[in-house]
Structure 1
Amino acid sequence: TQAPGHTPPPPPPGPGWGTPPPGGYGTGGWAGGWGGPPPAAKPGIIPLRPLGIGEILDGAVSTMRTYWRTVLGISLTVAVVVELITLLLRGFVFNDTLVGFGDPSMTANELGRTVGTNALGDLVVGAVFMLGSLFATGLLTTVTSQAVLGRSVSIGEAWKQARPQLLRLFGLLLVLTVLFLGVLAVGIAPGVLIAATAGSDVAVAITLALGLLGAFLVVLWLMVRYSLAPSALMLERQGVFKSMGRSTKLVSGSWWRIFGIQLLAWIITNIVSSILVIPFVILAFVLDSSGSLNVLHPSDEHLSWSFLIISGIGSVLAAMITLPLNAGITVLLYIDQRIRREALDLELARAAGIQDHGTGPAPVPGG
Structure 2
Amino acid sequence: MNDTPGWASPGSSPSDGQGGDAPRPAEPSDEPGTAPKWSPNQPPPAQWSPPTMPGPSGPVPPHTPAPRWGGGAHQGGWGRPPAAKPGVIPLRPLGVGEILDGAVSTLRAHWRTVLGITLTVSVFTQLGDILIQRYVVPAPPQLKPDPTPAEALEQSVESLQASLISLAPTMGLTLIGTFITTALLTMVISRSVLGRPVTLADAWREARPRLPHLLGLVLLLPLMSAAIMAVGLLPGLLLDDSPVGVLLAVVGGIAAAVVIVWLLVRFSLSYSALMLERQGVLAALRRSAKLVQGAWWRIFGILTLTMLLMLLISMIIAIPFSIVALAVDGQGLGGLLAGTPPEFGWPFLIITGIGAVIAASITYPISSGVSVLLYIDQRIRREALDLELARAAGVPGYGSPSPDDTAPRS
What's the TM-score once normalised by structure 1's chain length? 0.83
Aligned twin of 2:129? 86
Aligned twin of 1:158? 203
SS in 2 for 1:186: helix
Cα deviations across residues 208-228 of structure 1 (Å, max 9, x unaligned)?
111111101000000100000
Q: Which amino acid aligns with 2:350?
A: I
Residue 141, structure 1, aligned to residue 186, structure 2: yes
Cα deviations across residues 110-145 of structure 1 (Å, max 9, x unaligned)?
886665344212111121122112211110000000
Please tell me whether the aligned partners of residues 48 and 348 of structure 1 are also in contact (alpha carbons under 8 angstroms). Answer: yes
Please tell me whether the aligned partners of residues 327 and 333 of structure 2 are also in contact (alpha carbons under 8 angstroms). Answer: no
Structure 2: how far apart are the matches of 1:252 and 1:234?
20
Which of 282, 285, 297 is matched with 2:326 structurally?
A: 285
Please tell me whether the aligned partners of residues 229 and 244 of structure 1 are also in contact (alpha carbons under 8 angstroms). Answer: yes
Alignment of 1:1-367 (within 5 A): 23=12, 31=69, 34=77, 36-94=79-137, 97-98=139-140, 100-101=142-143, 115-193=160-238, 195=239, 201-292=242-333, 295-297=336-338, 302-357=343-398
> Aligned in 2, Cα 1:105/1:131: closer, same or farther, shift over 3 Å?
same
Q: CA deviation at 1:252?
A: 0.4
Cα deviations across residues 70-123 of structure 1 (Å, max 9, x unaligned)?
1111111111111111111122222x5235246668978788666534421211
Please tell me whether the aligned partners of residues 317 and 359 of structure 2 are also in contact (alpha carbons under 8 angstroms). Answer: yes
> Aligned in 2, Cα 1:169/1:104: closer, same or farther, shift over 3 Å?
farther
Deviates more, 1:34-43 or 1:336-345: 34-43
> Aligned in 2, Cα 1:300/1:41: closer, same or farther, shift over 3 Å?
closer
What's the TM-score once normalised by structure 2's chain length? 0.75
Structure 2: how far apart are the matches of 1:172 and 1:206?
34
> Aligned in 2, Cα 1:185/1:34: closer, same or farther, shift over 3 Å?
same
Please tell me whether the aligned partners of residues 269 and 322 of structure 1 are also in contact (alpha carbons under 8 angstroms). Answer: yes
Structure 1: how far apart are the matches of 2:354 and 2:106?
24
Structure with more relative contact order (C-alpha pairs < 8 Å, separation 6 or more): 1
Unaligned runs of 5+ residues in structure 1 are: 1-13, 359-367
Task: Return the structure number with greater helix share.
Answer: 1
Structure 2: how far apart are the matches of 1:257 and 1:63?
23
Q: CA deviation at 1:52?
A: 0.7
Q: Which amino acid aligns with 2:140?
A: L
Structure 2: how far apart are the matches of 1:273 and 1:54?
20
Structure 1: how far apart are the matches of 2:322 and 2:164?
21
Aligned length: 336
Cα deviations across residues 194-241 of structure 1 (Å, max 9, x unaligned)?
x15xxx822112111111111010000001000000110111111111
Q: Which amino acid aligns with 1:34?
A: G
Structure 1: how far apart are the matches of 2:267 and 2:143?
39
Structure 2: how far apart are the matches of 1:256 and 1:111?
36
Q: CA deviation at 1:63?
A: 0.2
Q: Which amino acid aligns with 1:131?
A: I
Q: CA deviation at 1:292?
A: 3.9
Q: CA deviation at 1:356?
A: 2.7
Q: Which amino acid aligns with 1:138?
A: A
Q: CA deviation at 1:355?
A: 2.9
SS in 2 for 1:46: coil
Structure 1: how far apart are the matches of 2:327 and 2:186?
39
SS in 2 for 1:48: coil
Structure 2: how far apart are the matches of 1:293 and 1:119?
25
Q: CA deviation at 1:192?
A: 2.3
Please tell me whether the aligned partners of residues 102 and 295 of structure 1 are also in contact (alpha carbons under 8 angstroms). Answer: no
Q: CA deviation at 1:160?
A: 1.2
Deviates more, 1:255-264 or 1:287-296: 287-296
SS in 1 for 2:305: helix
> Aligned in 2, Cα 1:236/1:25: closer, same or farther, shift over 3 Å?
farther
Aligned twin of 1:9? none
Please tell me whether the aligned partners of residues 333 and 342 of structure 2 are also in contact (alpha carbons under 8 angstroms). Answer: no
Please tell me whether the aligned partners of residues 276 and 317 of structure 1 are also in contact (alpha carbons under 8 angstroms). Answer: yes
Cα deviations across residues 282-335 of structure 1 (Å, max 9, x unaligned)?
110112222345554577884200000001110000000000000000000000
SS in 2 for 1:97: coil
SS in 2 for 1:43: coil
Measured on the aligned residues, the alpha-carbon RMSD in Å equals 2.9
Unaligned runs of 5+ residues in structure 2 are: 18-66, 71-75, 400-410
